[in-house]
Amino acid sequence: MAIDKFDELARYPLLDALLKRRSRRFSLGMKMAEGPLAYESRCDALALSEEEEAVLAFAAAGISGYALLDLSFNKEQGGAIVARALGRTIASGDAIQTVSLIVTNDDSTYWIKRPEDFSADEIPGLIDQARKQNFVELYRRLRVKIKDGRAAPSPMFNVNVNRWSLYAPGTTYFLPINELTFMYINGLLEVFNEQTGAFVIDERAGFRPAGLGSFARRKGGHLDDDPASGRVLTVQRLELMVSELVTIEQGMMLQNLALMSQALGLGGFPNFAEHEFSWFEALGFRMGAMSAGEYLGANFFTRGLMRLAGHNQQIPYALGLERDGNVLLKPYCPPYYPTMKEAVRAVVDTKFGARGLFRGGAEASAWRDPAAIVQAVPEISAAAIDATTAYCEYIYRRYGRFPAYMPPFRTVLGFQAGHLDPDFYERFYRADALSDTEGDHMAKWHGLTANPPLSPFGKGG
């Protein structure tokens, strides 16, 4: 039975998934209390099976093989900006794979490991499981339980339109989490090299150099500080670029979840999940706190006024994810590194350390002759490392965190998947609102010829 349904899933046409993909929210067991679509499901909620969750988790964040890294590694052409050599089902800037995935349902909450969370010896086995479509076994190897039961912030932290349907019993919620610091530092090593030579000024400090004064070309350095050159950025603009680049990876996760939900015949919809701290508190992250004035980067005078007005309350923010003495998710900044200098060095070592991508780690790559390739890859210059370190230390010293405008972890959107209630759609919608895939789902994946029967104790019993 399992082989048949997975084989059929593998044959589902991509074009059909694109054409028929829709946000479908009303699942078994749900209730919409008011409005023209008011309806209460006559059936109990039905949780997603482990198989269904496994396929969805693979679509969002499955380890699928080795990145090709088909780039020019000449010094002037920047190929060495890539930092890792493994690929997932979504693309990732510099092959960093920095977005993590949380899967939470009524019974458990899991963190899904990224490629870098496995040793090089484990990776071939994971890729083999994916190619054999052993999704459940792969899911079990990737997931780490971080909480009993469902994790979710209060619905008050969401927009009104979502509150009636969020975190409903029987549904599974998929939450991508951005980690911004690796991408940030890795990008700085590129923009602060001799070829790019960008310069950054701090708009919240009178547009003075952001720790880079001694690297300015007008002072004999290698960074182009002439505004007319088009290479001068503000801290805010630079951090927005980093955030947007990483958030695009979340979008690819959500699209894959939507397409796979369609192929499975499940309901699902992306929804707003952005809040400074609510999700991280719900997930049990290690939290820090700053006064509102510090958090917003206000100057000394403004912070004083905020204190006098009683508006300088503490704002929590995520530092990292830890369980049972193990660090699962950490940013490249304190408290997980003593200084920003050591955090920068850790990023450099990911590439050029003893087991870095362009050293011993090249053995775990798609290249036929990795030794010949990495010998020709120039190391990051001392000038780029020094400028990156000076900038990062300035940001952390002035703003008390890294990045300056936002915490190192960020949520934006989530995806809720569930078993649809066809009676709702039959009552309110035209016949093509659900495709044959949704209509056949219960039979193919659960051996049921209709919706699940009511509990012997009545609905919800």
In the prediction, which pLDDT does 261 show? Answer: 98
Q: Name the residue with tokens 């009636």.
A: 164
Instruction: List Cβ neighbours of 325 (8 Å cut-off, separation of 6 or more).
Output: none
Secondary structure, 3-state, the chain:
CHHHHHHHHHCCCHHHHHHHCCCECCECCCEECCCCCCEECCCCCCCCCHHHHHHHHHHHHCEEEECCCCCCCCCCCCHHHCCCCEEECCCCHHHCCCCEEEEECCCEEEEECCHHHCCCCCHHHHHHHHHCCCHHHHHHHHEEEEEECCCCCCHHHCCHHHCCCCCCCCCEEEEEEEECHHHHHHHHHHHCCCCCCCEEEEHHHCCEECCCHHHEHHHCCCECCCHHHCCEEEHHHHHHHHHHHHHHHHHHHHHHHHHHHHHHCCEEEEEECCCCCHHHHHHCCEEEEEEHHHHCCCCHHHHHHHHHCCCCCEEEEEEEEEECCEEEECCCCCCCCCCHHHHHHHHHHHHHCCCCCCCHHHHCCCCCCHHHHHCCCCCCCHHHHHHHHHHHHHHHHHHCCCCCCCCCEECCEEEEEECECHHHHHHHCCHHHCCHHHHHHHHHHHCCCCCCCCCCCCCCC
Cα separation, 461 vs 454, in Å, equals: 9
- 272 token code pair: 């707003």
**Cβ-count burial of 169 within 10 angstroms (0-12 exposed, 13-18 middle, 19+ buried)?**
middle
- 373 token code pair: 């390739």
> Tens digits of per-residue pLDDT, 279-301?
999 999 999 999 888 888 877 77
> Tens digits of per-residue pLDDT, 401-416?
999 999 999 999 999 9
In the prediction, which pLDDT does 453 show? Answer: 56
In the prediction, which pLDDT does 460 show? Answer: 42
CB 175 within 8 A of CB 102: yes
Does the pLDDT of residue 455 top 50, yes or no? Answer: no
In the prediction, which pLDDT does 214 show? Answer: 97
Does the pLDDT of residue 458 top 70, yes or no? Answer: no
pLDDT band at 302 (very low <50, low <70, confident <90, very high): confident
**30: nearest Cα among 18, 21, 39:** 39
Cα separation, 265 vs 5, in Å, equals: 12
In the prediction, which pLDDT does 208 show? Answer: 97
Cα separation, 254 vs 155, in Å, equals: 20
Does the pLDDT of residue 3 top 70, yes or no? Answer: no
172 forms bridges with which residues in the sheet?
417
Percent of the chain past pLDDT 90, that is, above it, reads: 83
CB 270 within 8 A of CB 443: no
Question: Order of strands, edge to edge, in the sheet holding 286-291?
Answer: 286-291, 314-323, 326-329
> Tens digits of per-residue pLDDT, 36-74?
999 999 999 999 999 999 999 999 999 999 999 999 988
CB 450 within 8 A of CB 442: yes
Q: Is the peptide bond before 403 cis (omega within 30 degrees of 0)?
A: yes
In the prediction, which pLDDT does 196 show? Answer: 95
Average pLDDT over residues 449-457: 56
In the prediction, which pLDDT does 2 show? Answer: 44
Cα separation, 59 vs 101, in Å, equals: 11
> Tens digits of per-residue pLDDT, 215-260?
999 999 999 999 999 999 999 999 999 999 999 999 999 999 999 9
CB 254 within 8 A of CB 413: yes
Please report, as a single letter, which amino acid is at residue 460: G
Instruction: Give how far Cα 135 sits from Cα of 53, 59, 446, 461, Å.
Output: 9, 10, 17, 32
In the prediction, which pLDDT does 107 show? Answer: 98
Average pLDDT over residues 361-366: 89
How many other β-carbons are positioned within 10 Å of the β-carbon of residue 24? Answer: 23
Does the pLDDT of residue 24 top 60, yes or no? Answer: yes
pLDDT band at 328 (very low <50, low <70, confident <90, very high): very high
The conformational region for residue 310 under phi > 0 = left, psi -120 to 50 = alpha, else beta, is: left
**253: nearest Cα among 239, 273, 238, 237:** 273
In the prediction, which pLDDT does 450 show? Answer: 66
Does the pLDDT of residue 134 top 90, yes or no? Answer: yes
Domain ranges of the chain: 2-446
Q: Within 13 A of 127's CA, how many CA atoms are on the CB side? A: 17
Average pLDDT over residues 110-126: 95
Cα separation, 263 vs 257, in Å, equals: 10
> Tens digits of per-residue pLDDT, 194-223?
999 999 999 999 999 999 999 999 999 999
In the prediction, which pLDDT does 78 show? Answer: 86
Gyration radius of the chain's alpha carbons = 25
CATH number of this structure's domain 2-446:
3.40.109.10
Instruction: List Cβ neighbours of 154 (8 Å cut-off, separation of 6 or more).
Output: 278
Query: Each residue of 248-263: b (16+ CB within 10 Å) or e?
Result: ebbebbbbbbbbbbbb
In the prediction, which pLDDT does 461 show? Answer: 36
